[in-house]
Amino acid sequence: MEVSLQNRTRRTKRRIPKTVICIGGMTGSGKSSVARRLAAEYGLQYFSGGDALKALATEIGYKVAGKGWWEGKEGMRFLQQRTKEDKFDKEVDRRLLELAKQGYVILDSWTMPWLLKDKSFKIWLEASVPMRAERVAERDGVGLVTALATLKEKDEKTRAIYKKLYGFELGIDFSPFDLVLDSSNLSADEVFRILSLVLKRFLFGID
């Protein structure tokens, strides 16, 4: 009799305690979409560093709504504030590290691959700047030139934040990662299928 994927996932949890998967990638790489999909597929909890930062932004009066908030005026203003105040990113990282302790989670985060010292599986989705800009432009309904300019500014400031806080080069240093996948010429479904195959074979032990 065929064993359902849900039952196999339960069996996997017994066999591999406290599974933690970290997925990183610059804006427009597709990391958040595939992280959510993988979490749903394997019965894992999904936590997003970006969502946690948005929650903190809401607490201090930012209006967090609509598609592409991070690349909009409010999101970029909050990003500028984060370059001057470490407390927001430090608090989000503290929360994610606590969540990682429970296991069976997928963390959509730029920092966790460097900050998590215990066993976890770390994936980086790479994509070219032009391709990322195309995706952001389509997603947010903005012009390609605007998307490209905003993306470059966001990349630069985000890298500066984590270089200052933790000393790593976001999007340049791939040393913590078990897998680096270039998603530039792959569809969302193709990225999901590749990552699903890797996780089943090398992490979950599912044939």
Confidence of residue 91 (pLDDT cuts 50, 70, 90): very high
60 backbone φψ class: left, alpha, beta (φ>0; ψ -120 to 50): alpha
Q: What are the boundaries of each domain within the chain?
A: 19-192
Q: Is 13 exposed, middle or buried (0-12, 13-18, 19+ CB in 10 A)?
A: middle
> CA 66, CA 119: separation in Å to the nearest integer?
36
For the chain, the straight-line distance linking the first and the last C-alpha, in angstroms and rounded, comes to 15
User: Where residue 65 falls among pLDDT bands split at 50, 70, 90?
Assistant: confident
Q: Which of 116, 115, 121 is nearest to 16 (CA)?
A: 121
pLDDT per residue as tens digits for the range 20-64? 999 999 999 999 999 999 999 988 999 999 999 999 999 999 999
pLDDT grade for 18, boundaries at 50, 70 and 90: low
Give me the pLDDT at residue 16, please. Answer: 46
pLDDT at 14: 47
Q: Is 11 helix (H, G, I), strand (E, B) or coil?
A: helix
Beta carbons of 68 and 50 less than 8 angstroms apart? no
Mean pLDDT of 130-152: 94
**Mean per-residue pLDDT for 68-93?**
95
From the list 184, 181, 68, the residue with the least C-alpha distance to 128 is 184
* CATH number 3.40.50.300 given to 19-192: yes
Instruction: State pLDDT tens for residues 113-127.
Output: 999 987 799 999 999
